[in-house]
């Protein structure tokens, strides 16, 4: 095994063993607290450009299988673990983690103190980092890293390029793809929806032309303010078609309604984030992956209602429109990976669509 190094922007150096690809790559280093679900994490496009470290100490033990991909092409820039398992044991396993990362050009580093790394990120906030061969000069790598810009406009890389249809016999949903996790598509097709997936910059006019029963905004990487086309589109479809948004989709909806977003110090990434639904007075365990959040103080001047908050730090986790059929969540009701406590939100979306249709019919035939 080759010795590799992980260098952080603040000069901290971790030496470990390489696995996966042996190329040098930099990115924003973040941590995920899930105890399993590494395959879904690696293939979640919202991590585009990030180096992900898992806080759970053993990763790779059930291998990589053909079922759990969240996208075909992974977008993460590096993977950091305490211990990597090269001999997975699971009936679904097709290959080990290292060979999967190697095939997808993603460098990995193992054998480092991931608790220490996580504590540094928590104290300092997320920062730039690079994974490189241990023989490379630390000073030069650090200089290179300091001069590098954090990645922006990642949605352009992760979104679908052209629209496509996943046929079904149920309600017609336009799914605006900012870097969609396949879990979202799965939840819609499971409910027989006829889904038209469209790119991030598809106009409101073109969406309305498809005569959808509902519009869904997916998750996606980076800063929501990097996607002004989508904010404009949401403004134009709002009130016309029922809308549901997840994660980046939630942030874009908030911006379109006049609220603001901020970058968090180190974000939320994991499979056990407690969220309280203020309307139902119920707490759910949720799967999360976000760096940005809606500013609660900016909701006052909008037509939005705060519906859910994170119990760990009061982050805005859910909002809805006061008058229009539209609601969004910051967390992942499609889970993958994580608990399925909030899977019913897809049913709520379809119920909302039925109610809008029933009302329209009533008005037409009254």
In the complex, the residues that contact ligand GLN under the rule CB under 6 A are 46, 219-222, 247-248, 289-292
Q: Which of 247, 257, 308, 321 is catalytic?
A: 247
Task: Name which of 14 and 31 has its Cβ closer to ligand GLN.
Answer: 31
For ligand GLN, give the closer residue by CB, 53 or 291.
Answer: 291
Which of 101, 247 has the CB closer to ligand GLN?
A: 247
Question: Structure tokens of 237?
Answer: 């479809």
| CB closer to ligand GLN, 85 vs 157 | 157
Exactly one of 182, 273, 321, 332 is catalytic; name it.
332
DSSP string, 243-302: EEEETHHHHHHHHHTT--EEEEEEEEEEEEEEEEETTTTEEEEEEEEEEEEE-GGGSTTT
Q: Other C-beta atoms within 10 Å of 210: how many? A: 16
- Residue among 249, 251, 339, 254 at smallest CA distance from 288: 339
Strands (E), 21-81: 25-32, 50-54, 58-59, 78-80
Structure tokens at 275: 């969220």
CB of 289 to ligand GLN, least distance (A): 4
Smallest distance, Å, CB 126 to ligand GLN? 10
- Shortest Å, Cβ 260 to ligand GLN: 14
Residues in contact with 314: Cβ distance below 8 Å, sequence separation at least 6, in sequence order: 296
289 labeled part of a ligand binding site: yes
Cβ-based nearer residue to ligand GLN, 5 or 288: 288
Determine whether the annotation assigns residue 251 to a binding site. yes
Closest separation between CB of residue 286 and ligand GLN, Å? 12
Q: How far is the CB of 112 from ligand GLN (least distance, A)?
A: 24
Q: If we measure between CA atoms, which residue out of 33, 28, 1, 24 comes closest to residue 271?
A: 33
Residue closer to ligand GLN, measured from CB, 5 or 251: 251
Distance CA 320, CA 306 (A): 7
Peptide linkage before 337 cis (omega within 30 of 0):
yes
Q: Verify whether residue 48 is a known catalytic residue.
A: no
In order of 32, 57, 127, 291, the CA distances from 115 in angstroms are 11, 9, 16, 20
Which pair of tokens denotes residue 192? 């027989």
Q: Is 290 a catalytic residue?
A: no
The answer to whether 219 is annotated as binding is no
User: Smallest distance from the beta carbon of 16 to ligand GLN, in angstroms?
Assistant: 26
Is 182 part of the annotated catalytic residue set?
no
183 has binding-site annotation: no
Q: How many Å apart are CA 313 and CA 52, to the nearest integer?
A: 22
Q: Token pair 């365990």 is at which residue?
A: 285
318 in a labelled binding site: no
Residues at the annotated binding site?
A: 46, 220, 222, 248, 251, 289, 292
What residue numbers does the annotated binding site for L-glutamine cover?
46, 220, 222, 248, 251, 289, 292
Positions marked catalytic: 247, 332, 334
């Amino acid at each position: 095994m080759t010795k590799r190094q992980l260098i952080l922007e603040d000069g901290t150096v971790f030496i470990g063993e390489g696995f996966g690809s042996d190329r040098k790559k930099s990115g924003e280093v973040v941590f995920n607290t899930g105890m399993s679900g590494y395959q879904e994490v690696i293939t979640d496009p919202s991590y585009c450009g990030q180096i992900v470290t898992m806080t759970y100490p053993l990763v790779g033990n059930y291998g990589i299988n053909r079922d759990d991909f969240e996208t075909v092409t992974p977008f993460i820039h590096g993977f950091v673990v305490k211990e990597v398992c090269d001999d997975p044991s699971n009936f679904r396993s097709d290959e080990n983690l290292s060979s999967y990362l190697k095939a997808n050009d993603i460098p990995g580093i193992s054998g480092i103190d991931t608790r220490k790394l996580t504590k540094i990120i928590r104290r300092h906030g997320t920062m730039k980092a690079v994974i490189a061969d241990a023989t490379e000069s630390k000073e030069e790598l650090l200089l290179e890293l300091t001069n590098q810009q954090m990645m922006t406009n990642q949605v352009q890389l992760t979104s679908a390029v052209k629209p496509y249809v996943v046929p079904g016999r149920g309600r017609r949903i336009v799914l605006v793809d900012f870097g969609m996790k396949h879990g979202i598509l799965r939840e819609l097709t499971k409910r027989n929806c006829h889904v038209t997936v469209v790119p991030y910059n598809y106009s409101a006019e073109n969406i309305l032309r498809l005569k959808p029963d509902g519009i869904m905004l997916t998750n996606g990487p980076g800063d929501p303010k990097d996607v002004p086309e989508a904010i404009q589109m949401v403004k134009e479809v709002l009130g016309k078609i029922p809308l549901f948004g997840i994660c980046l989709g939630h942030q874009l909806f908030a911006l379109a309604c006049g609220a603001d977003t901020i970058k968090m110090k180190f974000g939320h990434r994991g499979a056990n984030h407690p969220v309280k639904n203020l309307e139902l007075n119920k707490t759910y365990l949720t799967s999360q992956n976000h760096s940005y959040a809606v500013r609660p103080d900016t909701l006052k001047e909008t037509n939005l209602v705060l519906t859910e908050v994170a119990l760990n730090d009061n982050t805005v986790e859910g909002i809805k429109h006061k008058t229009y059929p539209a609601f969004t969540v910051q967390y992942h009701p499609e889970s993958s990976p994580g608990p399925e406590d909030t899977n019913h939100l897809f049913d709520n979306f379809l119920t909302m669509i039925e109610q809008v249709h029933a009302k329209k019919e009533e008005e037409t035939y009254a």
